[in-house]
Chains A and B, each alone.
Chain A
Amino acid sequence: MTERINRLKTIATQLRRDVVNTVYYAKDGHPGPCLSITDMLTALYFDIMRLNPEDPDWIHRDRFVLSKGHACPMLYAALARRGYFPPAELKTLRALGSRLQGHPVMHYTPGVDATSGSLGHGLPQGCGMALAARRRGDDSLIFVLTGDGELNEGLVWEAAMSIAKFKLANVIAMVDNNGVQSGGKVETIGGLVHLREKWEAFGWYVVEIDGHDMEQLVSVFENAAKRGRASRDEREGMLIVADQPAPNPDQPVMFIAHTLKGKGIPFMEGNNAWHKRVPTDEEHQLAMSILGGLDLE
């Protein structure tokens, strides 16, 4: 286990370095919202998800929808390091003609499963993808990561209702609960409170996790994935975490991941100026000295 976790931690550091480099070279992008989801994406793309980078459209793959599409430098870095395209291409983010658009676009970027960026659309798209998987009789999982700010969108709650209604246990969702959106705190801007109770009231099974604890992430995601692939009978009693009763077999799972914007780079941590900002040469150098790993070549 330790070896597995250490490997993932090393990858997460590399991806953080890639994100800072990407935004620095592209001179545009949202570093803060990338860094709060780095550890979750590392666990998913490098350990949990069933993927085939050689064949990005492989029908039996697991899907991932980055509903908070502005954090796409993180997704692009994960895809590049997972072998979907060369890491050097990350430098082309947001440039004319680049496959790496300012927000994720399916059919443009190998490995991007759904177009996103206009907030609130990951869950309803995931709902359709999960219904399609069920119809195909495929045990593919649909992972959806939403921001907390984007829960202001009414559409999220329409989809929350539908996914629970359709009993889509093959949907595994996460909220990146970093507590801050573009203009300030989520409680202040949109009035987002009682997050756990809201999801539970919509029929979801909720687990609160530390979005930066790699050991915990791997454990809960692995349990949720095993459950999501199981038949309805097999799902009976399957636990996600030891200290919480099992979900009922029909429930979709929502992880409320407590995270920190800018995580991993001390001068960015908790500072919302980094929601959308390009590091200066000095800041870039400082970040590079903090983070190990390879450059974009």
Chain B
Amino acid sequence: MQGLEALAEKDDRIMMVSADSMLAMRATGFAEKFPDQFVEMGIAEQNAAATAAGLAIDGMIPYFATYAGFITMRACEQIRTFIAYPNLNVKLAGVNSGVAGGEREGVTHQFYEDIAILRAIPNMTILVPADADQARQAAIAGASIPGPVYIRLGSGRDPVFFENDTPFIAGKINVLQQKGNDIALFGNGVLLNRLQKAADELEKRGMGVTLVEVHTVKPIDVEGVRRILKDCGAAVTAEDHNIIGGLGSAVMETAAENCPVPIARIGLRDCFGGSGNPEDLLDYYGMSVNDIVDAALATIKRKVIK
């Protein structure tokens, strides 16, 4: 929201479209500061998405912000046909993504299919910022990307990974460490902390690890991913999303077409989540540090030695 406020101050075409999501989005301040740029549609996501399309048709830059699943599922067709097809400048910000993002709310309010759904829609850009300050920057970056942009957000209580003001450069992979090439770890969002711990643990066990943040899942940085895969020859992907259709799929598709190597996916293993503490949920659903370490060790063994 800080990002959106900064944008709205400079550009009066910036608007926030709410589906009674002002509190969930912590947008009370925005609504008070920019009453003419705040549009409350009520609990009606299809209406909100189609109205955002109407605003964008006539030159506004609306940010439709609410729960990730209500955007990508309830309003899926509105996004596909009325926002993405005409390539309108509508930005979508979805909270409660992943089991960790949805945490105690349970399955109705936690979403791990959003990226898979939106990846299949042409013209979409998909950004997965790691923490609150990165989300602020992603919101700002989104405004200068033409066409529809989806910004995937967690619970708002997500662990901090980056120092404030660490640059967020959309469209490129972000290499966090390059300490050898036994294995590449690709990840994003809430799992970056766990990936860093896994990288440290692997290092203790004598493995050289390249750790890469892929915050722009679509369009994926094909050349960047290919370069890392070529160097390391094996990879693990990790995301708080179904292993079908998300970052893991994007990296595997890139690998299969450009640089086939063994890859393992960490994420929800095609199942639904449930209520709980976010850290416990990630452990329970197969996204623990140990799960990443084990996947890495197993994948290294599958490497083809030339």
Contacts and interface: CB of A to CB of B under 8 A. Distances in A.
Interface of A: 59, 63, 105-107, 113-115, 118, 121, 124-133, 135-136, 154-155, 158-159, 161-162, 165
Contacts of B42: 158, 161-162, 165
A135 B47 contact: no
B52 interface: yes
A251 B230 CA distance: 64
Nearest to A133: B58
B60 A132 contact: yes
Given A124-B53, A125-B53, 9 more contacts: A124-B50, A129-B54, A129-B58, A132-B55, A135-B12, A158-B47, A162-B41, A162-B44, A162-B51
Given A115-B81, A118-B81, A106 B50 contact: no
A113 B86 CA distance: 11
A112 to B, nearest CB: 10
A135 B56 CA distance: 12
A155 B46 contact: yes
A124 B17 CA distance: 13
Contact of A131 (B44, B46, B55, B78): B55
A132 B50 contact: no
Nearest to A106: B86
A114 B47 contact: no
B180 interface: no
B82 interface: yes
Main secondary structure of the interface of A (DSSP, over half): helix
Nearest to B87: A107
Nearest to A161: B42
B59 A136 contact: yes
B54 A105 contact: no
A17 B6 CA distance: 55
Main secondary structure of the interface of B (DSSP, over half): helix
Contact of B36 (A124, A125, A135): A135
Nearest to B56: A128
B58 to A, nearest CB: 4
A114 B77 contact: no
A125 B86 contact: no
A125 B54 CA distance: 4
A131 B47 CA distance: 14
Contacts of B77: 118
Interface in B86-115: 86-87
A107 B83 CA distance: 13
A114 B78 CA distance: 13
Nearest to A122: B50
Contacts of A114: 53-54, 57
Chain A to chain B: the 3 pairs with minimum beta-carbon distance, closest first: A128-B54, A124-B50, A132-B58
A211 to B, nearest CB: 25
A158 B12 CA distance: 26
A128 B58 contact: yes
Contacts of A118: 77, 81-82
A121 B85 CA distance: 14
B55 to A, nearest CB: 4
Nearest to A155: B46
Contacts of B81: 115, 118, 121
Interface string B154-165: 000000000000
A107 B12 CA distance: 24
Contacts of B47: 124, 127, 155, 158-159, 162
A294 B283 CA distance: 73
A127 B51 contact: yes
Nearest to B54: A128
Given A124-B51, A159-B51, A162-B42, A135 B82 contact: no
B57 A155 contact: no
B185 interface: no
A131 B39 contact: yes
Interface in B9-57: 12, 36, 39, 41-42, 44, 46-47, 50-57
B59 A132 contact: yes
Contacts of B51: 124-125, 127-128, 131, 159, 162
Contact of A105 (B39, B52, B86): B86
29 contacts: A115-B81, A115-B82, A125-B50, A125-B53, A126-B54, A127-B47, A127-B51, A127-B54, A128-B52, A128-B53, A128-B55, A128-B56, A128-B57, A128-B60, A131-B55, A132-B55, A132-B57, A132-B60, A133-B58, A135-B12, A135-B36, A135-B60, A136-B58, A136-B59, A154-B46, A158-B41, A158-B46, A159-B47, A165-B42
